[in-house]
Amino acid sequence: MATPFAIEPYLKDVAARVDAGLAALAEERRGLGPDRLVDAMKYALLGGGKRLRPALVLAAAEAHGGGAPDERPPGGSLAMRFALAMECVHTYSLVHDDLPAMDDDDLRRGRPTVHRAYDEATAVLVGDGLQSLAFRHLLASPDPRALALGKLLADGAALMVEGQQRDMDGEHRRLGEAEVLELMRCKTGALLAASVAGGALCAGADAAAVYPTGLALGLAFQIADDLLDLTADTATLGKRAGKDAAAGKATLPALLGAVEARRRAEALLDGALAALAPLGERAAALRALARYVLDRKK
Domains of the chain: 7-295 (1.10.600.10)
What is the per-residue burial (b if ≥16 Cβ within 10 Å, else e) of 236-259? ebbbbbeebeeeebbbbbbbbeee
Q: Are 119 and 40 in contact (CB under 8 A)?
A: no
Farthest-apart Cα atoms in the chain, separation: 56
Residues with Cβ within 8 Å of residue 259, at least 6 apart in sequence: none
pTM, to two decimals = 0.91
Q: Are 290 and 273 in contact (CB under 8 A)?
A: yes
Per-residue pLDDT of the chain (298 residues; tens, 9 = 90+): 557 889 999 999 999 999 999 999 999 999 898 999 999 999 999 988 889 999 999 999 999 987 555 545 444 699 999 999 999 999 999 999 999 999 899 999 889 999 999 999 999 999 999 999 999 999 999 999 999 999 999 999 999 999 999 998 888 778 899 999 999 999 999 999 999 999 999 999 999 999 999 999 999 999 999 999 887 555 555 555 556 666 667 899 989 999 999 999 999 999 999 999 999 999 999 999 999 999 887 6
